[in-house]
Amino acid sequence: MFTKSNFREFETLLPGVEMRPLAFEEQSILCEFILQKGSELPSHSHPYEQTGYLVSGKLNFRIDKEWFVAGPGDSWCIPSAVEHQVEVLEEAKVLETFTPIRPDYLPDENVD
């Protein structure tokens, strides 16, 4: 799959958290997130392995029991079923992949 820049619109997942799917196939999906300063992703886990890269901004990030302050250029990989959360310290742009593919993140044109 090839996706042109700005092909899809962002959708709001939580207050201050917007996501748009970029490219995907059968086993993985790449998503772009815009996180507003002061917003939070509450503690959660899911069955997907999650690999991310912070393009810009600053995050206070918890993976399992360990906290990290993430800045531009930092990256992470969260195994499936591991609890994590994020506090947004500065407006941020994040790229993340999920494996296996997250059906809830697929664009509407691909949902049966």
Here the tokens at position 44 are 């959660």
Pairing of strands 17-24, 29-35: antiparallel
Predicted pLDDT of residue 32: 97
CA 77/CA 51 separation, integer angstroms: 4
Predicted pLDDT of residue 31: 97
CA triple 96-11-71, angle to 5 deg? 35
Domain boundaries 35-100, corresponding CATH code: 2.60.120.10
Helices and strands in the chain: count of H runs, count of E runs: 0, 8
Three-class SS state of 108: helix
Predicted pLDDT of residue 111: 47
Predicted pLDDT of residue 7: 85
pLDDT mean values, one per 10 residues, the chain (112 residues)? 85 96 95 98 97 98 97 98 98 98 85 46
Does this model's pTM top 0.75? yes
Predicted pLDDT of residue 110: 52
How far from the centroid of its chain's Cα atoms is residue 1's Cα? 20
Q: How many other CB atoms sit within 10 Å of the CB of residue 42?
A: 8
Predicted pLDDT of residue 22: 95
